Structure 1
């Protein structure tokens, strides 16, 4: 973790995002400057992802039901039949598309914040890895941009490593959205899916797990990084069973892009959030960003705050098919110590708290 914080301190002095080559030849005009056009494209690219993640699945499900009630019902029936046939694909490595991962829209997405990926150590293609990603934030912009696309150059920085970002399994039950997610190399965060990637897909695989999950998102707030990790040991046990090295990953700035109304523990609203989290799998947060046309209004567009994702030093993990609780606790303590031992190693990082 010291390497993560040291690397982050170094990039704070860096410059912002680069201009895209496609905008170099735009004619100069007082109402159509290159910077304004670029900014508008960045906002659109980010907003389309936010709307896709929040609404695409539900919208396509309703559309499919509607088509069943029209004269075009045969199209809906054919798609449903294919969906049933393809149902287990997300749990069997998915359907990654290099073309989608390299879309130009993701470079605009990256430059909006901007998002940067920092490498501190080499990763061997002969090993498999489990990346522990922190913090969750509201919508995991850093995790998606760095590991669900090639906008920050993951494959060039870590040659021979294939990242698979794990997210809620419920997203893969929704038409169209499931295919959109799979094209970016995103997989369900369940045992079957992760086991398949780490045991039946060769080596050089890196499953990215947002360890804090939905519970952590309820505590995210600008200025303070609260990490839900103390009682999260499942990913460590999985790493031991598969012999996959643990890699801590931290995104500085992930909690800065949205403002959230946080309810105190014990209140009725907090209790409702917890129960809905257990029922539907994610936490219904009350958050806002800025408006589409103005930073002074409320909306779903995230604030332009830099996100710097630092991939730390891997922790070598042996393969133990049935690890004892003592061994799991040992490696979990090793993982946690990387945070606690470096809490004062830099003045650039905001305060961090490890919660249950």
Structure 2
């Protein structure tokens, strides 16, 4: 089934550097998109051949805890490598002896989905530093991942910052823990409206690992320094590949 999903868009995975199977990694995934299709297909299924591209590495993807409270669905998503977004889950994976684990975190989270639309490169990252602190605590290298085309799968009702719709969406997101983007794609027999995602390619590019010195009690200065290094490497990854996907040379990542 997941192969059909991969072929529909299609979705592909690109490696730019080797990952040492004797180590554990934290991978920051960007952007969230509406459905995080690239993150799921690449890290939770073998449809794009993750294990052959990164031999010896077992991927995991963090997901909102509320989904793990649904009977049977919880067991199904756990079988695909999904784990709760709690610190204890992350610590369990990153502390495994022998290495070979990659913990994927969609850093922008549900709130970033509200900015997911074709041509948008806005990432919710400036104040997202929990994954940085986690990397320092465990000495886990950080791997930036950018999924080109992730935001092109759906159109979204205009909801600019400060608009009444955005205010309602932000309020609901704080209450419910999930965002509610008003999106639409194509239908089964027509292409103008529906809830099926557009058939547009997604190319997920995995960057080179950023070495992290293990620091059990990192200071704010150490967290901020690594955070800036991560942003720089993520920007470098985007700039190095954007022209291949017809992104204008003067288009850069936007952070909020």
The TM-score range, normalised by the shorter chain, is over 0.9
Work out whether residues 247 and 313 of structure 1, in 8 Å CA contact, stay in contact via their aligned partners in 2: yes
The alpha-carbon deviation at position 226 of structure 1 amounts to 1.1
1:222 aligns with 2:118: yes
The CA deviation string for residues 266-287 of structure 1, in whole angstroms up to 9 with x for no partner, is 2222111111111111111100
Structure having the higher helix fraction is: 1
Larger Rg: 1
- Give the match's secondary structure for 1:313: coil
1:355 aligns with 2:255: yes
Work out whether residues 117 and 310 of structure 1, in 8 Å CA contact, stay in contact via their aligned partners in 2: yes
Moved more, 202-211 or 137-146: 202-211
Partner of 2:228: 333
The CA deviation string for residues 116-169 of structure 1, in whole angstroms up to 9 with x for no partner, is 000111100111100000000000000000001000000111111110011111
Gaps of 5+ in 2: none
The alpha-carbon deviation at position 200 of structure 1 amounts to 3.7
Partner of 2:203: 308
1:244 aligns with 2:244: no
1:112 aligns with 2:8: yes
- Give the match's secondary structure for 2:32: coil
Moved more, 156-165 or 256-265: 256-265
Alpha-carbon distance between aligned partners in 2 of 1:201 and 1:158, rounded to the nearest angstrom = 19
1:321 aligns with 2:221: no
Q: CA RMSD in A?
A: 1.5
The 5 Å alignment of 1:125-204 reads 125-200=21-96, 202-204=98-100
Aligned residue pairs total: 251
Work out whether residues 229 and 354 of structure 1, in 8 Å CA contact, stay in contact via their aligned partners in 2: no
Partner of 1:4: none
Alpha-carbon distance between aligned partners in 1 of 2:82 and 2:239, rounded to the nearest angstrom = 34
Alpha-carbon distance between aligned partners in 2 of 1:342 and 1:145, rounded to the nearest angstrom = 21
The CA deviation string for residues 9-38 of structure 1, in whole angstroms up to 9 with x for no partner, is xxxxxxxxxxxxxxxxxxxxxxxxxxxxxx
What TM-score does the superposition give when structure 2 sets the normalisation length?
Answer: 0.93
Alpha-carbon distance between aligned partners in 2 of 1:185 and 1:344, rounded to the nearest angstrom = 30
